[in-house]
């Protein structure tokens, strides 16, 4: 019955395709070794994309089938309409066990609903909020992996996509589209995918660096013009503002190269750097606060040793102001994440200052950033890439920083005697240099366990310090001391 249902649904889906679209079926069988060029910026001779009217047609034409592997571009470039069409088709045609590889996705994730578990299995390379529940209930999965190593999955054949779903800017007069806001691992996934479906959107910023892809690499293209997902800046809390003040005034030097993500703490830090000079950006992602510092002349990138005079990033999510700033702007280079996050490249930057957050830290400096106990929350991401790169800095002036509020929203201490049972260690205690809360700065490099416990208890919330001292004595058999 399932097979009959699928045949009936497929017949109905094919009937919706216009007669002008039918010749595109010749593209369904992908290139041989002699015709397939896996460098996205190099045109494939005598090949053009098949332009279709709807995402539904594109999914049908690409012949989505059971047991296939699909790559999905993420962050602000999430092809939401293609995901909707893919899910509808998979359910109506009873397609089974399609594995979706992706980083953090924006927008709805209908494929991750419990009722669709037999059709699709999401495998996150970095978990977003829209699939977190599915991961923790067994309806989805995740891969613990350094961000800079994700492209290897595709290049070395660990993951072999049958279809890639991407989101690009319209082609220019020479046929070049741009991956826009999200290069990360998209370039490598597309390079090794059998078929590529692109959502083509005039709202996607046209960016440079590794972002360009020639239209001949697109098998099926659908115009779908809607604004990108936005994450507007929020006013930081008093505690977040104080964290930003500690870091901006004490740990960020003039001429430093910065890595920081998005959120209230990075925004608070950036808002307090208005008197700094010649700052640079080399970061997997960046946010709206960077735009303001560029406009003030604080970010010049003039002191950078490589990519001098350029902001370097790999993906982003922000406001319309950020997307407008990125569009057609040669001041920004969007590069593949295996380069941007390579600790050896990071270490070359002057005064490399890497600022990352976490879920909790124990009194010896172990950092948990990907789980709450046994419950998965996000992923390794690029934290250890940049913490390691800053620690390895060639000028010996790098600063690896972990920034967090001292307590949770429920008043529980984020500095713990031991990590919560089941919590994963993303950054080990040997590489952590600074831990910053609203209470102050803990300097850990070269410190013993006794000294580390003292430093960290000093930046814990006052309500929890006495209990932490007692727990530290119980664990270390000695009282914390400087």
Q: How would you class 36 by CB atoms within 10 Å of its CB: exposed for 0-12, middle for 13-18, buried for 19 or more?
A: middle
Q: Residue 101 has which token pair?
A: 């590889």
Q: Which of 406, 402, 404, 378 is nearest to 390 (CA)?
A: 402
- Exactly one of 57, 106, 240, 284 is catalytic; name it: 284
CB 332 within 8 A of CB 326: yes
Rg value, the chain, Cα: 24
- Residues constituting the chain: 482
CB 357 within 8 A of CB 312: no
* Catalytic residue flag (residue 284): yes
445 CB contacts (<8 Å, ≥6 apart)?
A: 433
CA 136/CA 394 separation, integer angstroms: 41
CA 118/CA 211 separation, integer angstroms: 35
Would you please indicate which residues are annotated as catalytic (active-site) residues?
284
């Amino acid at each position: 019955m399932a097979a009959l249902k699928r045949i009936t649904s497929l017949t109905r889906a094919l009937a919706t395709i216009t007669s002008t679209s039918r010749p595109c079926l010749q593209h369904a069988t992908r290139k041989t070794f002699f015709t397939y060029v896996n460098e996205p910026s190099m045109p494939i001779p005598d090949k053009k994309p098949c332009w279709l009217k709807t995402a539904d047609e594109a999914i049908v034409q690409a012949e989505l089938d059971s047991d296939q592997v699909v790559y999905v571009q993420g962050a602000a470039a999430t092809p939401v309409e293609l995901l909707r069409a893919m899910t509808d088709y998979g359910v109506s045609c009873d397609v089974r066990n399609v594995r979706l590889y992706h980083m953090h996705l924006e927008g709805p994730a209908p494929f991750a609903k419990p009722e669709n578990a037999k059709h699709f299995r999401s495998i996150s390379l970095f978990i977003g909020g829209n699939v977190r529940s599915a991961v923790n209930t067994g309806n989805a999965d995740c891969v613990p992996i350094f961000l800079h190593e994700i492209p290897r999955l595709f290049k070395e054949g660990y993951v072999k996509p049958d279809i890639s779903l991407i989101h690009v800017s319209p082609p220019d007069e020479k046929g070049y589209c741009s991956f826009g806001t999200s290069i990360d691992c998209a370039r490598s996934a597309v390079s090794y995918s059998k078929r590529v479906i692109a959502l083509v959107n005039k709202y996607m910023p046209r960016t440079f660096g590794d972002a360009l892809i020639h239209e001949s690499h697109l098998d099926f293209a659908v115009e779908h013009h809607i604004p990108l997902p936005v994450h507007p800046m929020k006013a930081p809390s008093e505690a977040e503002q104080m964290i930003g003040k500690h870091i901006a005034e004490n740990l960020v030097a003039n001429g430093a190269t910065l890595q920081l993500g998005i959120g209230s703490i990075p925004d608070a830090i950036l808002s307090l750097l208005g008197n700094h000079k010649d700052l640079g950006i080399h970061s997997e992602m960046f946010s709206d606060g960077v735009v303001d510092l560029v406009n003030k002349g604080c970010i010049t990138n003039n002191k950078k040793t490589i990519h001098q005079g350029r902001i370097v990033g790999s993906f982003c999510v922000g406001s319309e102001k950020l997307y407008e700033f990125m569009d057609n702007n040669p001041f920004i280079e969007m590069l593949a994440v295996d380069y941007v996050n390579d600790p050896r490249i990071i270490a070359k930057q002057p005064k490399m200052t890497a600022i990352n957050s976490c879920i909790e830290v124990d009194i010896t400096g172990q950092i948990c950033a990907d789980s709450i106990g046994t419950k998965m929350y996000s992923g390794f991401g690029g934290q250890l890439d940049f913490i390691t790169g800053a620690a390895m800095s060639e000028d010996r002036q790098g600063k690896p920083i972990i920034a967090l509020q001292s307590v949770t929203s429920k008043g529980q201490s984020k500095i713990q005697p031991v990590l919560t049972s089941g919590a994963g260690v993303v950054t080990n205690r040997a590489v952590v240099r600074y831990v910053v809360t609203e209470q102050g700065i803990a300097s850990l490099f070269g410190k013993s366990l006794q000294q580390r416990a003292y430093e960290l208890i000093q930046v814990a919330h006052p309500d929890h310090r006495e209990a932490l001292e007692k727990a530290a004595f119980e664990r270390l058999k000695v009282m914390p001391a400087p």
